[in-house]
Structure 1
C-alpha cells in the first residue's frame, strides 16, 4: 500500500500551533487536513514538560504538559484531522510538494497549502563553544525532560544549570520532581534574562544563582566531574558537579527551510513571511515558534489558530496576493522583526502585530519609518528576549513604499 499523503492542507509539526491551525481549518470547512509529525505522538514540547500550567486559555483548565499534549491530540481527532506520526519530512519543494520518510520507506506528500509548524530547539553545547571533553552528563532542557518524563531515567543528581531564560524555571521544576538537586545556576549577564519575579524561584528552592559568570570548561572524561567558571571579578572557580544542563538560546527548527527554495530570515533564523504568515513561496505558510524564538504554548496555539483561519481565507480566494511587497529593514540593535514583509494595502485579516526583539538592553525611542517619515514610535525600556508588539492596525504605510526601517534612537 502506498504511503503517499494527499490533502487540501498539510501541517508539518503536531505541537500546539500545528494542531490549532489544523483544527481551525477543519472548523472552516476544509475537507482534508493532515498533520505530519516525526515523533511517535503529537503534542510537541509539552509532552515532556511534566509540570503545569498549560491550557487555561485554550481549554478552560490547567494541565500538566503531558495531559495538555493528550488533550491537543484528542482535540485534533475530534475535528477529523488526519494524523501521521513517525513520519519525517526530508524535503520541501515548490508548489506544496514534500518528500517524506516513514517506517515503510520514502514517499511524497502534496497539498494545496502547507503550514510549517516545526517549533524551536535549544542551542547545543557545540554552538556555545565550551571547551572540554565530551563526558556523559551534558544535556539541554528538552533532552533532560525526555529522559525523566518519557523514559523514567535520571541522568545526574547534582548538575550545574546554565542560563536564566524562562525555560530555566522549567528545568528547576523538572529537577525537583526527579529528586535532582542542582549545585547552582549561572548567567553571563548581570541580571536574569527572564522577568525578575520568576528569577526569585531558584533561590526559594535553595539553588544559588551567579550572575556575570561564564562556563569556561567542562571537566571529566567518562562523565562530568566538575566545571571551571570565570566569575564576575575575573577569578576562576572549580565547582564539583555530575552534570551540566544548558537552557535556552532557542532557534527555530528551520532545517527544512534552510535546505529549500524558501527564503530564510537572518534575524529570526526562521522563514521570511508577510503579515499573513505566508512564506516566499505562497503555497507555504508558517505558524508558532518556527516564526521566531520563543513564545509560550498558549501564544503558539492562538497564533496557529489565526494562521489556520488565514489559510482557509486563502483557499476561499479572499487573501490578497501580490508579488510586490514592502520589506522591513532592521537597524543596529534590533535582533529580529516578524513579519519581515508587508503586502499593501494592509488588511485586517492577517497577523495582529509586528513582533520585535532587541539584542541588547535598549532605552530610547523605537520607531518605524518610511523614507525618513515616522509611521509609528514609542518610548521603550527593553531587555533582550522580551516581547515588544507593534499593532499593525496602527501603521499606515504609503502606497509604493519599497522599504520600512525599524530602529531604536537611544536616550541622550
Structure 2
C-alpha cells in the first residue's frame, strides 16, 4: 500500500508533535505523525509528576496531562496521528517502509522529520555485575509499570544514577508510597545541579557518590546491592534496583536508513537546520542529543518545522558547510555542520564539571564565537554563532575548551 503526504514525522513525542502543529499552522495540508506505540505523547505519558507545559501552554502540568494536550492540539490542527505504526526504514526519495497491524506498508513524503527520541541504556550495556533477580529495571520501565499498568514493583529500591531522570524516579516513587533506600552514583559527583539534588535530601534519601557496584544479590527477587564506597564494602538491603540515566539515541531507524551518524552522540549528523545526510530527512529532539527536557525538544521540533517549510519551496540539497570538531574535554556538539549566511546555536556537552572558556575558530585559528562556561556534568551548554562568511568555512571548524583551574 502506498500513500503520499507533505511531511511524515517519525515519533509522536514533544519534538514530533511540536513540529506537526507548527507545520499545520504554516499551511501544510497533510502532515502525518507515525508513532510505534498505541498512544502518542512520548516519555511524558508515564511521568506522572510536574513540571511540564510552562513553555508550551503557560501552565504547570503533569506528564500525562501535558502529553494529552500535545496530542489534542495537533489533532485539532488537522494532523493525522497513526499509532501502532513502526517505521523500519527511510529510503531515498522520502519513501518510508512501515510495519503496521494491517501488515507492511509504504508512505511517500515530500520531507521526513525523524524525532524518535532516546532511551536509557540497559543494565547489560552498563556492565552491572551480579545476578538477574526480579526487581531490576530502568526509570522508563518503572514509570511504565506504575503509570500505565498501575503496578508497584517494589517498596524499598536503590536508584543508581544522579542525572535529572534519577530525580524523576525519586518523584515517581514518592507519589506511590515507595521509599528509596539510597541514590548511588558511580562517578565522583552528582550529574545534575546541587540545588536539584536537594530533592533527595528533602526526601531523606542518602546520595552515595564515587561508589563501585560489586553485585546484585537475591533470588528470585532483589534482596541487596553490594558496593564499595569510600574504600569500604557495604551491603544495601533493598527489594529493587532502578538504573537511571546514561541515555543513548533511539537511532535504529537512522542506522537502517543509512543516515550518517555522529560517533560522539550516536545519533544522526545534522546541519544547523536539522538536515541529515539525506537531503529530504530532517532530525529533531533527543535522538540528536541525549538528553534535553520535553520543552526544549518541543521548541526544537518547531524550529525544524520552519526549516522544513522553507526547504520544501526548493529542490532538496545535501547538507553543506564546514564540520565542527570538538576538542579535548568536550563530549559532543550538535549540529555537527555549519553553513554560511545563517546564525546557529551549538548544543554542547562537556566531560564532567568544567570552568573555563569555549571557543569556536576556523582553520586559520581566527575566533568566530566564544563564551565563558561554568557547568555541572550533564548541563546543556549553548554557544551562539553569528552568520558566517564563506571564507570562514574553507576547512573544519574547531571547538575547544580552555579550562581554568
Aligned mate of 2:347, from 355, 367, 371: 355
Conserved? CA contact 1:49–1:149, under 8 Å: yes
Partners of 1:77 and 1:41 in 2: how far apart? 13
* Pairs within 5 Å for 1:242-391: 242-317=239-314, 321=317, 324-343=320-339, 345-348=340-343, 352-371=344-363, 372-391=365-384
- Equivalent position of 1:68 in the other structure: 66
Conserved? CA contact 1:41–1:85, under 8 Å: yes
- Equivalent position of 2:155 in the other structure: 157
Partners of 1:119 and 1:397 in 2: how far apart? 33
Partners of 1:103 and 1:264 in 2: how far apart? 30
Partners of 2:325 and 2:37 in 1: how far apart? 37
How many residue pairs get aligned? The number is: 404
- Equivalent position of 1:210 in the other structure: 208
The TM-score normalised by the length of structure 2 is: 0.96
Partners of 1:245 and 1:139 in 2: how far apart? 5
Partners of 2:232 and 2:392 in 1: how far apart? 58
> Shift of the alpha carbon at 1:269?
1.3
* Pairs within 5 Å for 1:181-196: 181-196=179-194
> Shift of the alpha carbon at 1:220?
1.7
- Equivalent position of 2:170 in the other structure: 172
Conserved? CA contact 2:355–2:404, under 8 Å: yes
SS at the partner of 1:282? coil
Task: Out of 378-387 and 34-43, give the one that drifted further.
Answer: 378-387
Q: Deviation digits for residues 318-347 of structure 1, max 9, x if unmatched?
A: x9946642111121221000000112x222
SS at the partner of 2:143? helix
Q: Deviation digits for residues 57-86 of structure 1, max 9, x if unmatched?
A: 211221111111111111111100011001
Task: Out of 370-379 and 236-245, give the one that drifted further.
Answer: 370-379
Partners of 1:399 and 1:408 in 2: how far apart? 20
Aligned mate of 1:52, from 50, 54, 61: 50
> Are 2:405 and 1:409 aligned?
no
SS at the partner of 2:286? helix
Partners of 2:110 and 2:323 in 1: how far apart? 26
* Pairs within 5 Å for 1:32-181: 32-181=30-179
- Equivalent position of 2:22 in the other structure: 24
Partners of 1:150 and 1:165 in 2: how far apart? 23
> Shift of the alpha carbon at 1:169?
1.2
The TM-score normalised by the length of structure 1 is: 0.94
Partners of 1:206 and 1:88 in 2: how far apart? 42
Change (3 A) 1:396 1:297: same
> Are 2:190 and 1:198 aligned?
no
Conserved? CA contact 1:376–1:395, under 8 Å: no
Q: What is the RMSD computed on CA atoms of the aligned residues?
A: 1.7
Task: Out of 390-399 and 239-248, give the one that drifted further.
Answer: 390-399
> Are 2:237 and 1:240 aligned?
yes
> Shift of the alpha carbon at 1:167?
1.0
Partners of 2:77 and 2:386 in 1: how far apart? 32
